[in-house]
Amino acid sequence: MRVTNSMLTSNFLNNLSNNLNKLDKLQYQLATNRKFAHISDDPISVIYSQQARYKLNRLNHYKKNVETAQNWLAQAEEGVMDINELIKSAYETAIDVATDVESDEDRRNAAKYIGQLKDQLLQSLNATFGDKYVFGGYNTTGAGGAINIPPFTADSDGKLYYNGIDLSDTENTEVIDKIINEVLTFDVGIGSEVKATLNGIELVRYNGAGENLYGLLNELYVAMSKTEETHSVDEISTIAAKLQTAQSHVLALAAEIGGRTNRLDILSLRYDKDEVNYTQMKSNAEDADQAEVIMNYKMAESVYKAALSTGAYIIMPTLMDFLR
C-alpha cells in the first residue's frame, strides 16, 4: 500500500486532536475534582453516583423526620410529667383532708387548690409544640376558624370535651374508641413509622370504665367543697385510690414515650453512620484521584509535545517556507 504525505498529515492531525481531547478531559478533572463531565465519560461511575445521591437524599429526609419526632416526643414527655405532678399533688392533698380533724375551712381551701389543679390540667392537655397542639390528635391547629378553640375544653359542670366530644357521655364510646387512634406519626424509615405523641383521650382515660382525669379532679373538688354535715372521709379516700390508679396509667404512658425516644436515638446514630458510608460511596464514584490525574496529565502533555515535534517532519514544507 502506498502511503502518501497527505495520509501522514491527516493521521497526524487526528492523533493530535485526540491528544488535545485527552488533555482537556484531564484538565477538567483537575479543575473540578470530578471523574466525568458527561455520562458517556464513565457510565458505571454515573450509575453509582446517582444511587449514592438518591440514598443520601432519602436518608436526609428520614433524619429530618427523626429529629422532628424527637422534638415532638420531648414536648409530649414534658406534658405527661406535668400531669403526673398534678396528680401527685392532688393525691397528697386528698390524703391530708381525708380525716375528721380537718375543718370545713381547711377543706374549702384545699378545694380551691384542687380547682387550680383542674385549670392547670386543662392547660397541660392543650400543650403546644410551636403553634401545634401536642395531644390534639389530628387537630393540631385548633378549631373554630378565626377563634382558636383548643382540643380540650371543659364546662362549669366539670365535663371534659375533646374536639367537641363529651368524654363522660357513654353514648360517645364508639366514636371515642375510633378517634383514640388518631395520632401524629412520622415516616422514619422504609416501611417504618413512629408515633410522635399521644392522643389526648388515651392520656386522660385512666381506666376501662371511661373515666377521665379532669372528671376525677372535679369529683375531688366537689367532695372537698362539702360541709361537715355532708362531708365523707370515705368518699375522698376512694377518690385518692383512683388518683393512684390514674398516676400509674400516666407513668406507663411516660415509659412508652421514653421507649419511643430511645428508638429514635438509635435510629439517629445509625443514620449518622449511613450518611458517612453513602458520602464515601458518592466520593468514590464522582471524585477524581488528584495524584493520579496529575501524573496522567503530565504523561499526556509529554505525548502532546512529542507529537508536535514529530509533526514538523511529517508536514511537508511549502514554497513560502523556502522563500522565507
Residues, the chain: 324
Between CA 314 and CA 219 the distance in angstroms is 109
**Is 139 among the domain residues?**
yes
Which pLDDT band, with edges at 50, 70 and 90, does 227 fall under? Answer: low
pLDDT score of 230 more than 60: no
Between CA 102 and CA 164 the distance in angstroms is 39
**Is 289 among the domain residues?**
no
Q: What pLDDT sits at residue 324?
A: 59
The SS3 of residue 288 is coil
- Tell me 315's DSSP state: S
**Is 302 among the domain residues?**
no
pLDDT score of 131 more than 80: yes
CATH number at residue 199: 1.20.1330.10
The total number of structural domains in the chain stands at 1
User: Which of 98-107, 149-158, 251-260, 303-312: highest mean pLDDT?
Assistant: 251-260
Domain of 164, in residue numbers = 75-267
The cell for 139 is: 387537630
**Is 32 among the domain residues?**
no
Q: What pLDDT sits at residue 318?
A: 62
- Mean pLDDT over residues 71-82, rounded? 94
Q: What pLDDT sits at residue 312?
A: 72
Q: What pLDDT sits at residue 46?
A: 86
Which pLDDT band, with edges at 50, 70 and 90, does 42 fall under? Answer: confident
**Is 286 among the domain residues?**
no
Which pLDDT band, with edges at 50, 70 and 90, does 145 fall under? Answer: low
- Higher confidence at residue 129 or residue 100? 129
Q: What is the CA radius of gyration of the chain?
A: 38
**Is 16 among the domain residues?**
no
- Mean pLDDT over residues 196-222, rounded? 90
The cell for 311 is: 509533526
Compute the mean pLDDT over every residue in the chain, rounded to the nearest whole number. Answer: 87
Among 84, 113, 116, 100, CA closest to 237: 100
**Is 297 among the domain residues?**
no
The pTM (predicted TM-score) of the whole model is: 0.80
- Higher confidence at residue 135 or residue 103? 135
Q: What pLDDT sits at residue 37?
A: 77
**Is 273 among the domain residues?**
no
Looking at the DSSP bridge assignments, the partners of residue 152 are 162
